[in-house]
Amino acid sequence: MSKTTWWQKAVFYQIYPRSFADGNGDGIGDLDGMIAKLDYLKWLGVDAVWLSPHFPSPQVDCGYDISDYLSVAPEYGTMEKFQLFLDGLHLRGMRLILDLVLNHTSDQHPWFVESRSSRNHPKRDWYVWLPGKADGPPNDWFSTFGGSAWTFDVVSGEYYYHYFFKEQPDLNWHNPEVKAAMLDVVRYWCKLGVDGFRLDAVGTIYETPGYPNQGTGVTLNDNYREYRQATNKKETDAVTEKWKRMFRYQHDLPGIHDLMRELRTVIDEFPDKVLVGETDQLSFYGNGRDELHLNFNFPLMHTQRITPQWVRENQEGRLANLPPGAWPCNTLGNHDVGRMRSEFGDGENDERIGRVNLALILTLWGTPFLYNGEEIGMTNHLGIRPEQFRDPLSRNALDLELNLIGSKQEEAQKFALLTGRDKTRTPMQWSADPNAGFCPAEIEPWLPVQDNFSHGVNVHDQMNDPHSLLNFYQKMITLRKGFPALQEGVFEVIDQDNPYVFTFLRKTDTQTCLVALNMCAETKVTKVGDRSNFRSVFSTHHPIGKRIFQSVELLPFEILIGVHFEQQTTNL
């Protein structure tokens, strides 16, 4: 009997609801659309869906500004439709986790509307309110999304705190009523049958008591200018360090771990739920059993090229510091960062690099998270015009480029798109029909569709092509399921110093897999030691069943998986 639970073995797939599938043809993704794609998800082989916020929201931050935690955005459907989607997943043996935004609500949430109505309102203390200093806000903290972290409220004459946009006021988590209300939200969705939560911006929940000035004297504009002037990694790192200093009082306060333990206790009232932290801090695993089940390995994606050395260093650093019993979680994409295909490609071999990177995410030790659209090789959409921007971060960056940096319009637009997140959130490309089959031809989708949908970057065409990236995703996900060692096995790097090929073992008591990924465009050799009992069960370039010898030659970007053939080999 396996000792691991479903969320350790599962492949997660993130659905960005506005962009995934449009069921009623209004240009906005919705639950009817998702329901229609249940069989697609099953076919792809994913085990669980992470749904980005589906709650009612004024959509300032594309749903991460929630105005009602117990309901469904009308443009996405109804609670009945939500239940149908959830049941549809469960019926097909898949799970669903929701996005839980604890740090802040929308400024349109009734709690905030009441809180700002008067200094004496019983909900006043549900948010972080302070009087200003003579010359302005209570201190010199910034919002990570631009401007001061404090916004003056004319009606009640005080400032409220927001780590993100001013339309996203931070809740005051020191108030027990806030905690109780949010833990009730958690129970509400658990009782409906959801299987867990991804915890948004979980590090930002508490602020340093007393709100001391951060005192660096650096402004966000200074920071942006320096970032744009940086010519090498050292200079960029220096800018990042400055940025971290500016924000050091505003996140990852020690008290957060008491709250995480409490949340874990609530989740544990229900069987088999999972909590996934939007944080790369290993401290959120607690002692390995008492805080969050999974925390994203974001550092893995902080590079332009995924190389063997990069991955080895990343794994060494993270795994050595993982508390006992904790389980890793790997990803190369989500709705906040550039498309995996565009970010890690070299412009010539993007498709092949994409395949190697997928194989990496599916075979490393840890739970893999995929982002909708990566399976067909969707790319950053850098052709979105300013009047089509939806993400205020794109608009802010455009303003900075034009007015602070003095860039020409074209250059400014490019940087605005690179800084903002619209490029990663464009509609899913379902077919070569107009609007990529996302919505009817005569309807304007909420964000423009990327042009490459008519050149094969769509689900329909790729389904019909056995050699497509989509079919490769499906095949690799199925393969992972067939080999328990790839899901649950202990991880051991071999051929430690190879600069081109990343080679490792995954071992359970009854099975050992060998994975060799040639991450470069030339034929290379990996030295695997005595593996005479191994034969290949997968290769992108060669017939399978071949014995594996001491030195294995891999063709450019070849992916090779072998298994010890005297042990149990597959549960397919």
Give the catalytic positions in this structure. Answer: 200, 278
Applying CB under 6 A, which of residues 46, 60, 86, 101 lies at the interface with ligand NOJ? 101
CB 548 within 8 A of CB 514: yes
Residue 510 and residue 236: Cα distance in Å, rounded? 47
Radius of gyration of the chain (CA): 24
Q: x/- string (CB under 5 A) for Ca ion, residues 3-32? A: -------------------x-x-x-x-x--
* 22: partner contacted, choices Ca ion, ligand NOJ, none (Cβ within 5-8 A by kind): Ca ion
Largest CA distance in the chain: 77
Q: Is 142 in the site for ligand NOJ (CB under 6 A)?
A: no
Q: Which residues contact 536 (CB under 8 A, 6 or more apart)?
A: 542, 544, 545, 546, 548, 560, 561, 562
Which ranges in 173-272 belong to alpha helices (H)?
176-192, 220-229, 233-246, 256-267
The one of ligand NOJ, Ca ion, none whose footprint includes residue 200, by CB under 5 to 8 A per kind, is: ligand NOJ
Q: Which is nearer to ligand NOJ, 101 or 528 (CB)?
A: 101
Please state, in angstroms and rounded to a whole number, the distance separating the CA atoms of residues 371 and 373. 6
Closest CA to 144 of 280, 240, 66: 240
Number of amino acids touching ligand NOJ (CB under 6 A) = 9
Site for ligand NOJ in 449-488 (CB under 6 A): none
User: Torsions phi, psi of 31, nearest 5?
Assistant: -70, -35
Q: Binding marks (x or -) toward Ca ion, 29..68, rule CB under 5 A? A: -x--------------------------------------
DSSP 442: T
* Closer residue to Ca ion (CB): 440 or 482: 440
By Cβ distance, which residue is nearest to ligand NOJ? 64
For the window 22-61, what string marks contact with ligand NOJ as x by the rule CB under 6 A?
Answer: ---------------------------------------x
Nearer to ligand NOJ, 62 or 469 (CB): 62
Write down the least CB distance from residue 61 to ligand NOJ, Å: 5
User: Binding ligand NOJ by CB under 6 A: which of 75, 153, 170, 200?
Assistant: 200
- 219 makes contact, choosing from Ca ion, ligand NOJ, none, with CB < 5 to 8 Å by partner type, with none
Amino acid identity of residue 59, one-letter, is Q
Identify residue 369 by its one-letter amino acid code. Answer: F
Alpha helices (H) along 459-556:
459-463, 469-482, 484-488
Q: Which of these, 61, 149, 148, lies nearest to 105 by C-alpha position?
A: 61
Could you give the CA distance from residue 31 to residue 13 in angstroms, rounded to a whole number?
Answer: 16
Nearer to ligand NOJ, 143 or 468 (CB): 143
Cα dihedral value 329, 338, 390, 228, nearest 10:
120
Residue with tokens 């149908």: 84
163, containing H or E segment = none
14 vs 413, beta carbon nearer ligand NOJ:
14
201 to 260, contacts with ligand NOJ by CB under 6 A?
Answer: 201
Binding residues for ligand NOJ (CB under 6 A): 61, 64, 101, 164, 200-201, 278, 335-336
Binding residues for Ca ion (CB under 5 A): 22, 24, 26, 28, 30
